[in-house]
Amino acid sequence: MASTVLQFRDVSVVRDGNSILDGVNWSVASDERWVVLGPNGAGKTTLLQIAAAAMHPTKGEASVLEEKLGKTDVFELRPMIGFASTAMARKIPRNETVIDTVLTAAYSVTGRWNEEYEEIDTRRAQRVLSEWGLEGFADRRFGSLSDGEQKRVQIARSVMTDPELLLLDEPAASLDLGAREELVGLLGGYAASAASPAIVMVTHHVEEIPKGFTHALLLAKGGIVAAGPLAEALTSETLTEAFGIPIELTESNGRFAARAN
Ligand SMILES: Nc1ncnc2c1ncn2[C@@H]1O[C@H](COP(=O)(O)OP(=O)(O)OP(=O)(O)O)[C@@H](O)[C@H]1O
């Protein structure tokens, strides 16, 4: 049976007197795959920071994996959350090998030092690499990889610990068309598996929504414009409202495209 992995009740985040998030009510179940869309500055990354137990709401209440933030040890919670973002990627040493980049997730560190890894960890890291199309890359240096390969390593790292919640902040940003399609295809396969955790992916482009994603959250100015099953929450009307320009959304075979109308 599905459990609730995220529960936001009236969540607000205030910085310098400005509401970055304003009264957000949102819940995510373990079998759901969410895309989060909205204009620059809408609060998407802030929302993801709370979901990652990396930030507390200023007001309201947020539960992550059924633990209330502020009343739980976030250091116990975080290993159960996979998080891939550009900020995270910046912490990975350029000369780290790909296998160590993935393996070190087991200790929540970046940069291998003196940790001891079990054979089972190494085997799991190798399996995860092959699942993300990275066979043969284990001994390559992270800094020598293409953007597309680096993005896949970051995701492989974030699923290494078998998380119960996977957060992806713009995983396809800066990728060329081929690399994007490869990544979106892999994410679609991952999303379709019942063994995969709940997924929340922030993106700027509806073209990057993989097949198999089930729900959408549209944010604007820190508030929710629409939230729910994809077919209801992601429409020309909701995109038009969120972005403040007339937008036409089209769908073909489970993939989306959008342009100004
Ligand atoms: N620590 C902070 N202090 C003041 N303002 C902040 C702080 N962190 C974020 N903001 C502001 O809050 C707003 C929302 O930021 P956030 O990064 O969550 O938006 P976003 O939707 O992810 O934007 P983008 O699509 O550009 O990445 C922005 O206007 C940002 O400048």
Question: Is the C-beta atom of 16 inside 6 A of ligand 1?
Answer: yes
Average pLDDT over residues 33-54: 96
Q: Whose CA is nearest to atom 7 of ligand 1?
A: 15
- Parallel, antiparallel, or unpaired: how do β-strands 198-202 and 223-229 relate? unpaired
Question: Is the C-beta atom of 38 inside 6 A of ligand 1?
Answer: yes
Question: Is the C-beta atom of 46 inside 6 A of ligand 1?
Answer: yes
Burial class (CB in 10 A: 0-12, 13-18, 19+), 250: exposed
Backbone angles phi, psi at 224, to 5 degrees: -85, 125
Report how far residue 114's alpha carbon sits from residue 143's, in angstroms, rounded to the nearest whole number.
21
Distance 48 CA to ligand 1 centre (A): 11
What confidence score (pLDDT) does residue 58 get? Answer: 96
Tens of pLDDT, residue by residue over 87-109, are 888 889 999 999 999 998 866 66
Average pLDDT over residues 239-252: 97
Question: Is the C-beta atom of 15 inside 6 A of ligand 1?
Answer: yes
Q: Which ligand 1 atom sits nearest the alpha carbon of residue 222?
A: 14
For the full predicted model, state whether its pTM sits above 0.80.
yes
Take residue 38 and report the two structure tokens written for it: 């909205």
The third-level CATH classification (topology) of the domain covering 4-260 is Rossmann fold (3.40.50)
- Cα 213 → chain centroid: 12
Q: Whose CA is nearest to atom 12 of ligand 1?
A: 20
Distance 61 CA to ligand 1 centre (A): 20
Residue 248 has pLDDT above 90, yes or no: yes
Average pLDDT, rounded, for the chain: 93
User: Could you give the residue ranges of the DSSP H alpha helices within the chain?
Assistant: 44-51, 74-77, 86-90, 98-103, 119-131, 147-159, 177-192, 230-233, 236-243
Q: Whose CA is nearest to atom 31 of ligand 1?
A: 41
Q: What percent of the chain has pLDDT over 90?
A: 83
The question of ipTM being above 0.85 is answered as yes
Domain ranges of the chain: 4-260
Tens of pLDDT, residue by residue over 151-198, are 999 999 999 999 999 999 999 998 999 999 999 999 999 999 999 999
Q: Which ligand 1 atom sits nearest the alpha carbon of residue 46?
A: 18
Strand partners, 256: 251
